[in-house]
Amino acid sequence: MTTRAGWMSRLMVSTVCSLAAFSASAQQTIKIGEINSYKAQPAFLGPYRNGWNLALEQVNAAGGVLGKQLEVVSRDDNANPGDTIRVAQELIAREQVQLLFGGYLSNTGLALSDFAKQKKMFFLAAEPLTDKIVWADGNKYTYRLRPSTYMQVAMLVPEAAKLKKKRWALVYPNYEYGQSAVATFRKLLTAAQPDVQFVVEQATPLGNVDAGAVTQAIADAKPDAIFNVLFGADLGKFVREGNTRGLFKDRSVVSLLTGEPDYLDPLGAEAPTGWIVTGYPWYSIDTAANKKFVDAYKARYHDYPRLGSVVGYSALMSIAEGIRKAGTVDSDKLAAAFKGLNVQTPFGPISYRAQDNQSTMGAYVGVTGLKDGKGVMTSYRYIDGASVQPSDAEVKKLRPAD
């Protein structure tokens, strides 16, 4: 009996000490949950993770935020919306994170956005490009960093219109992002060039493109130009098959994301030339903000940054700045603080629009070329995201009231 009483006493003391230690730990750090598709999309998300880790180290080395160190607890979602929600619940219940960021694919990003709305927890969508995340399915707790599908297509359409090509082919991954990109391209190019025709459309399974069949179908339609939305491994297969079959010879190509080193570099000497693209020519951007970031990234990782690196870095810096402005990690106050929030990024200053929770981060638009056996961007210019966003009146029609 005495032994049992002693054992119970020691257990209670141990439990109290553990709870006290946990409470102290919770007070010392601000825990942030991060969710992404690292195993499914390593080309972009490996550098992305390096980016937010670099920002985390810099913020904490400077004293943290609100007198506390930031702590990121990261999980992989297997590029599956169901797994996304499962790990989000685990991060809240088990890890007791106080806010969320991340997301890569549009479908997982939308799942996280809806989860944030239901749980009333702040979520910064770093990468998902779907327009729905800030418009049709927008909510007060969800903000988005990267320029949206609409914004990036709107950057490319003026260049596409200058080509004065009448017959266009469309190729894209058959899920929300690809579908939205093509719908926006159709709408905006038709407005700019009323006589345009879309003669063939190839919607491919994400991560499983049959490049031979797609290339042949496009060639058979004899288009004057191609609008491509494929990325990652799908892009590589399409480019290689297209090069082999001569699909791109004497044919204009406008391509979303292809100038990002995350996707362009793996192509090596097979990288296409003359394509009009969005991307990140880190090697020749001479702004002070980019040079500072590139130098810090190289010093930390002994590697050069990709677009994912910029996104990860800017996401964590946005969160740190938002918490500072809010003075708390309370989700409602943090969501309010993000409205009009100004953040310094490697692309220069950006802000988060109060109208739709979308940042004004822009993108570089240029033309692909080859240098030293590697794809590069030439003749590029930076387009401010604010210049390609719809008007407030249009946004009000697109987005439900919070």
Closest CA to 336 of 399, 400, 402: 402
Do residues 119 and 164 share a domain? Answer: no
401 confidence band (pLDDT: 50, 70, 90) = confident
Classify residue 396: in a domain, yes or no. no
pTM of the model: 0.92
Do residues 88 and 52 share a domain? Answer: yes
Classify residue 318: in a domain, yes or no. yes
Classify residue 83: in a domain, yes or no. yes
9 confidence band (pLDDT: 50, 70, 90) = very low
Do residues 99 and 184 share a domain? Answer: no
Do residues 252 and 294 share a domain? Answer: no
Classify residue 394: in a domain, yes or no. no
Q: What is the pLDDT of residues 137-196, one digit of tens each?
A: 999 999 999 999 999 999 999 999 999 999 999 999 999 999 999 999 999 999 999 999
- 3-state SS, the chain, equals CHHHHHHHHHHHHHHHHHHHHHHHHHHHEEEEEEEECCCCCHHHHHHHHHHHHHHHHHHHHCCCECCEEEEEEEEECCCCHHHHHHHHHHHHHCCCCCEEEECCCHHHHHHHHHHHHHHCCCEEECCCCCHHHCCCCCCCCEEECCCCHHHHHHHHHHHHHHCCCCEEEEEEECCHHHHHHHHHHHHHHHHHCCCCEEEEEEEECCCCCCHHHHHHHHHHHCCCEEEECCCHHHHHHHHHHHHHHCCCCCCEEEEEEEECHHHHHHHHHHCCCCCEEEECCCCCCCCHHHHHHHHHHHHHHCCCCCHHHHHHHHHHHHHHHHHHHHCCCCHHHHHHHHCCCEEEECCEEEEECCCCCEECCCEEEEEEEEECCEEEEEEEEEECHHHHCCCHHHHHHHCCCC
Do residues 88 and 42 share a domain? Answer: yes
Do residues 132 and 270 share a domain? Answer: no
Classify residue 401: in a domain, yes or no. no
293 confidence band (pLDDT: 50, 70, 90) = very high
Do residues 85 and 170 share a domain? Answer: no
402 confidence band (pLDDT: 50, 70, 90) = confident
CATH number at residue 25: 3.40.50.2300
Do residues 120 and 230 share a domain? Answer: no
Residue 3 pLDDT greater than 50, yes or no = no
Q: What is the pLDDT of residues 83-92, one digit of tens each?
A: 999 999 999 9
Do residues 74 and 178 share a domain? Answer: no
Do residues 228 and 249 share a domain? Answer: yes
Do residues 137 and 155 share a domain? Answer: no
Q: What is the pLDDT of residues 367-392, one digit of tens each?
A: 999 999 999 999 999 999 999 999 99
Number of independent structural domains in the chain: 2
Structural domain harbouring 110:
11-147+286-361
Query: To the nearest whole number, what is the mean pLDDT of the chain?
Result: 94
Do residues 183 and 307 share a domain? Answer: no
Classify residue 3: in a domain, yes or no. no
